[in-house]
Structure 1
Amino acid sequence: MSDLFAWLISFLFLVSLLIIVVYQLVCLSDLEFDYVNPYDSSIRINRVVIPEFTVQGALTIFYLLTGHWFMAILSLPYLCYNIKLYTSKEHLTDVTEIYNSLKREQKRRLFKLGHIALFLFITTFWLIHSALEDD
């Protein structure tokens, strides 16, 4: 039963990450189509970057604490990438350079979205498997 709860908590972490990354993509696409100005878009994106990094770090630590080593190893590249962005101070979007880096920022978020989608698929599989195994 504890494994079922672990996968359920992991699923909730991943859904929150998915919401944050999709929100960032929507902000970037609104900027691309001129629905919002660069300042507002940068503020909105920068407001959720640190929570995204925190949730990803907590998810990786959660995998380690619950003994899901395979998932922890798979989440390490994403965590290391976030740490690299944070230490090199590239994690925040710059208001003055947002138009120049718009495509690159969108690609970053799309790769993150793909990574999260893969994790959601794996977690959903193990969640269902754990639920059926307990019966």
Structure 2
Amino acid sequence: MEMLWTWLLSIFFILTLLCLVGYQLMCLMDLEDDYINSYDSSSRINRTVLPEFIVQGVFCVILFITRHWFMLPLALPHLYYNVNSYMKGQHLADVTEIYNLLSWEKKQRIFKIAYLFILAILSLFGLFWSIGDE
């Protein structure tokens, strides 16, 4: 039964990450379409970056504690990228450079969404597999 709860918790964390990254992408698209200014877009994105990093870290810790050795290596590259960008100081959107980096930032978020979507599908598969075992 604990496997079922672990998979449900995993899906919850992945959906939370999808919502956070999707919100960041929406802010970038609004900036591109000139619906909001660069200061508002940067401040909205920067408010969601740290919660995204924390949720990803907690997600990897839970996978490690529950010994999901298949999902943990799949989730670690995202955590490594987040930690690496935080250590280099590149995790926040800069108000003055956001227009120059807009296409790169959008591609980054789209790649994250695709990656998290694959993790969500694998988690759903694991959830259905554990339901079948019960």
TM-score (norm 1): 0.98
Partner of 1:106 in structure 2?
Answer: 106
User: What percentage of aligned pairs have identical amino acids?
Assistant: 49
- Specify the code of the residue in structure 2 equivalent to 1:17: L
Partner of 1:72 in structure 2?
Answer: 72
- Render the CA deviation track for 1:13-70: whole Å, top value 9, x for unaligned: 0010000010000000000000000000000000000000000011111100001011
Q: State how far apart, in whole Å, the 1-side matches of 2:69 and 2:112 are.
A: 20
* Shift in Å, 1:132: 2.1
Q: State how far apart, in whole Å, the 2-side matches of 1:74 and 1:16 are.
A: 17
Partner of 1:127 in structure 2?
Answer: 127
Q: State how far apart, in whole Å, the 2-side matches of 1:78 and 1:15 are.
A: 15
Secondary structure of 1:27's aligned partner: helix
Equivalences for residues 29-44 of structure 1 within 5 A? 29-44=29-44
Q: Which 5+ residue runs of structure 2 have no aligned equivalent?
A: none
Paired residues in the alignment total 134
- Specify the code of the residue in structure 2 equivalent to 1:81: Y
Equivalences for residues 5-16 of structure 1 within 5 A? 5-16=5-16
- Render the CA deviation track for 1:57-87: whole Å, top value 9, x for unaligned: 1111110000101111111111110011000
Q: State how far apart, in whole Å, the 2-side matches of 1:65 and 1:86 are.
A: 24
Q: State how far apart, in whole Å, the 2-side matches of 1:65 and 1:131 are.
A: 21
Partner of 1:117 in structure 2?
Answer: 117
* Shift in Å, 1:133: 1.6
Query: What is the RMSD of the two structures over their aligned residues, measured on CA atoms?
Result: 0.6
TM-score (norm 2): 0.98
- Specify the code of the residue in structure 2 equivalent to 1:114: A
Q: Which 5+ residue runs of structure 1 have no aligned equivalent?
A: none
Secondary structure of 1:56's aligned partner: helix
Q: Which runs of 4+ in 1 moved over 4 A?
A: none
Partner of 1:97 in structure 2?
Answer: 97
- Specify the code of the residue in structure 1 equivalent to 2:114: G
Secondary structure of 1:69's aligned partner: coil
